[in-house]
Structure 1
Amino acid sequence: GKGILTKVIQLQVKYLTAVETDEMLSQQLNHFFSFHGARNIEIINADFLKYNIPNTEFKVISNLPYNVGTAIIQKILPLKNWTTAVFMLQKEVIQRLAARPGSKAYSYISIFTSYYAGCKTLFDVSPRCFNPPPKVISSVIKLTNKVPEPPDPVFFDLVKHAFKTRRKTILNCLSSFKNLEKSKAAHIIDACALDPFLRPDKLSISDFLRLTDETRKHTIYNV
């Protein structure tokens, strides 16, 4: 963007890397910071989704582009070298990131976020704070890296499949995952001490992890 947030942050940190996809805006920001003698900032003209993030410890703060915000979060969270992230997005997306089992907003991205990060919603931002004002309320969220072990690849496959069929029971959901026989799916669910008639949006991240482990024991995957 025009660097309104960047200009504030630059005065408060030892070093700042700003990634801007628009070439003209990048040039304007470079000119501004050069003119003011700022030596602790680097402006990189790149698409962040294609940008190769350096393997050094970093914090990240951004008013994320609403059309690619979730994709950017999914790129950052699995990395081990970030410590804290503060993002602004539309409120409904923030609600999905922070959602807990049983809520309408609970979804695949809720579990993805919870697996990698501690999550705290900070505050809402009125449309009147923007020019031109958007049609939605925005929210700010703080994420803290849990630095977990890399997940079993089946884990996120299972979670994604479950929320594509979220109106089904977990018995029917698991039966349609990797073509599992229904009797085998029932055995897996029983081994996890779960009610087979629960729906996926009632399961916690630990429930999905147990289902993944038990499914691995009873099934051969080509992942």
Structure 2
Amino acid sequence: MIRVLVAEDMHIVRGALVALLHLEPDIKVVAQCANGNDIVPLALKSKPDIAVVDIDLPGKDGLTGAAELSELLPECRTLILTSMGLPGTLRRALAARVSGFLSKDLPAERLAEAVRGIAAGKRVLDGELALAAWDSEDCPLNDREVEVLRMVAAGCEPAEIAARMHLSTGTVRNWLTGIVQKLDARNRVDAIRIARQAGWL
């Protein structure tokens, strides 16, 4: 029996995913949540084989949850579901060591097939997203710059970012200036827009 955790913030969608998986005789949903902060604690408690995770969750996003899960419960593989088929997002997913990445636009039967494939040790990727990622530009920002821009996008001020990252406020401001320049953006808001459209955030 393949044990599955489902993380999806939209109640109707989560209910549909759980119902679809319950129809399969070899798959059992052992936990479900609506917030990215709950993924790791629930997984540590329920010990799923596969975590089916929406990429866009409140709290920690799905990719952050997947990366933490990979470190703390490496025997649990992750299948990311997304409605945002951006090439940069797929690259982030692969960097987070996920085992699968599928668009929510795919037929429902693909979900159970993907879960079985991942449980068997395979990687499952949406073909169109993989081709788009092949042709996409690399993110010009380093990991720390992406982290800073992600915090700005979440509404954090430079002083708060500095405290979290154990840096001076001046250093954070310098990084933000560099980020805006690297993305050829007009300002921070434009930098966030550019990074989101490319799937880098």
For CA contacts below 8 A with separation 6 or more, give which structure has more relative contact order.
2
**Greater helix content:** 2
Larger gyration radius, structure 1 or structure 2: 1
Scaled by the length of structure 2, the TM-score of the pair is 0.37
Scaled by the length of structure 1, the TM-score of the pair is 0.34
